[in-house]
């Protein structure tokens, strides 16, 4: 049934299953078995890359300067609106394949480059079709409040989402056409303020979506306090979170999804991972894969979290497995090697698991097998001929 039957000492398991027959036995001598990695924050459905903006950023342009000049999210929106659903699906499947080969077996996937109902639904349908056609697990997020559409005020956009987008999502959810798990809003100065964010998140919660949103990234907005109050499952970014917000999140068991790639690429202040951990916040990690932060690799995210956010390797592994699963409401089935949980595992070509973090960008010859629901989905032949050291 794709679930883990036993975990423990090898000789005990050999005795317990001495009569059993298996389709396949993998020799893991000198290797490590780890839970499949969970990427708790990605934007993988879009057309039109933003490689030209990378040069602008390197020359010193800020995220909001690019955004106001018609670049950033609005550039991607234009291209995504023009793309056919099949094209978006093909790109999404290709990107999910790259994530899988880097060890991710469960990925959160957001819409948010449509900003109008038709394009948002096109993106969510692409995510739904991917969920049914690829081996990787998907948690789907409606992120229609990712930016204020051109020609609308934030209040008009908020009203449109609450009165038009969410009722349509509810209808499609009830008919089984689209399964959406989470609701997201970019709560930020010049985007959606605290009150608009509250209204959208509450409306999403009322139709059964988990709250999992962008907060306190570029300016302190009191997003963390709002999320704790609304019973959010998780809040992402938090580079500018307040001390009170950290305490509120710890009390509310609201996960912090930290994104070291974003802080690194935008040269922002790093999120206060140490302070959050000390206060008892559940810290998770995500790649924030999007046209602005083009990273598929959770092993690289873990490495950045250790170096730039001062997390230990143990903390980073927990943040990229069980805690990231918690941030998606999936920690009862994913994120650790326990009896009864889904059989999502990695086998790495090393006798020490820390190599997965220590080798920056080394996952291509380190990840030997990726297994989802007990089936080998990816087998890396290079591992048989190359030492991972």
pLDDT in tens, 82-134: 999 999 999 999 999 999 999 999 999 999 999 999 999 999 999 999 999 99
Cβ neighbours for 31, distance < 8 A, ≥ 6 positions apart: 347, 348, 349, 350, 351, 368
Mean predicted confidence (pLDDT) in 148-157: 96
Quote the pLDDT of residue 100.
98
Mean predicted confidence (pLDDT) in 258-265: 95
Quote the pLDDT of residue 130.
98
Q: What is the gyration radius of the CA atoms in the chain, in angstroms?
A: 21
Q: Domains of the chain by range and CATH?
A: 3-32+344-379 (no CATH), 35-47+83-328 (3.20.20.140)
Residue pair 254/232 in contact by the 8 Å Cβ criterion: yes
Quote the pLDDT of residue 387.
66
Helix residue ranges, H only, 134-192:
154-160, 166-174
Answer yes or no: is pLDDT of 329 > 90: yes
How far apart CA 161 and CA 176 sit, in angstroms, is 21
Confidence of residue 57 (pLDDT cuts 50, 70, 90): confident
Quote the pLDDT of residue 128.
98
3-state secondary structure of 303: helix
Helix residue ranges, H only, 166-242:
166-174, 194-206, 223-230
How far apart CA 259 and CA 288 sit, in angstroms, is 6
pLDDT in tens, 238-261: 999 999 999 999 999 999 999 999
Answer yes or no: is pLDDT of 386 > 80: no
Answer yes or no: is pLDDT of 389 > 90: no
Task: Give the range among 212-216, 268-272, 347-351, 360-364 with minimum mean pLDDT.
Answer: 360-364
Quote the pLDDT of residue 202.
98
Quote the pLDDT of residue 55.
87
What's the start-to-end Cα distance of the chain, in Å? 36
């Amino acid at each position: 049934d794709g679930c883990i039957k036993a975990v423990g000492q090898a000789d005990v398991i050999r005795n317990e299953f001495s009569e059993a027959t298996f389709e396949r036995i993998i020799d893991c001598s000198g290797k490590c078995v780890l839970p499949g990695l969970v990427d708790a924050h990605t934007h993988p459905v879009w057309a039109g890359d933003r490689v030209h903006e990378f040069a602008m950023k390197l020359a010193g342009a800020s995220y909001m300067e690019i955004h106001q000049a018609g670049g950033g999210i609005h550039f991607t929106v234009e291209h995504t609106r023009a793309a056919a659903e099949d094209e978006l699906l093909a790109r999404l499947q290709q990107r999910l394949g790259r994530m899988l080969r880097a060890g991710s077996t469960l990925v959160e996937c957001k819409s948010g480059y449509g900003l109008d109902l038709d394009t948002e639904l096109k993106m969510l349908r692409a995510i739904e079709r991917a969920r049914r056609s690829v081996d990787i697990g998907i948690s789907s997020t409606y992120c229609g409040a990712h930016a204020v559409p051109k020609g609308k005020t934030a209040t008009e956009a908020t009203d449109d989402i609450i009165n038009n987008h969410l009722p349509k999502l509810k209808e499609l959810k009830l008919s089984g056409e689209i399964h959406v798990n989470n609701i997201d809003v970019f709560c930020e100065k010049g985007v959606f303020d605290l009150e608009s964010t509250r209204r959208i998140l509450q409306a999403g919660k009322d139709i059964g979506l988990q709250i999992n949103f962008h907060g306190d990234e570029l300016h302190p907005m009191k997003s963390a306090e709002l999320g704790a109050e609304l019973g959010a499952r998780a809040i992402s970014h938090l580079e500018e979170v307040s001390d009170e917000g950290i305490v509120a999140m710890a009390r509310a068991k609201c996960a912090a999804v930290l994104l070291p790639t974003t802080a690194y690429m935008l040269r922002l202040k790093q999120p206060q991972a140490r302070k959050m951990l000390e206060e008892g916040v559940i810290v998770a990690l995500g790649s924030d894969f999007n046209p602005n932060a083009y990273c598929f690799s959770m092993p690289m995210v873990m490495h950045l979290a250790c170096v730039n956010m001062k997390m230990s390797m143990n903390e980073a592994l927990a943040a990229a497995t069980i805690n990231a699963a918690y941030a998606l409401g999936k920690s009862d089935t994913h994120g650790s090697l326990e009896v009864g949980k889904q059989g999502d595992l990695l086998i790495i070509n090393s006798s020490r698991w820390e190599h997965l973090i220590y080798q920056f960008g080394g996952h291509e010859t380190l990840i030997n097998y990726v297994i989802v629901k007990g089936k080998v989905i990816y087998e890396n032949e290079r591992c048989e001929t190359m030492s991972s050291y």
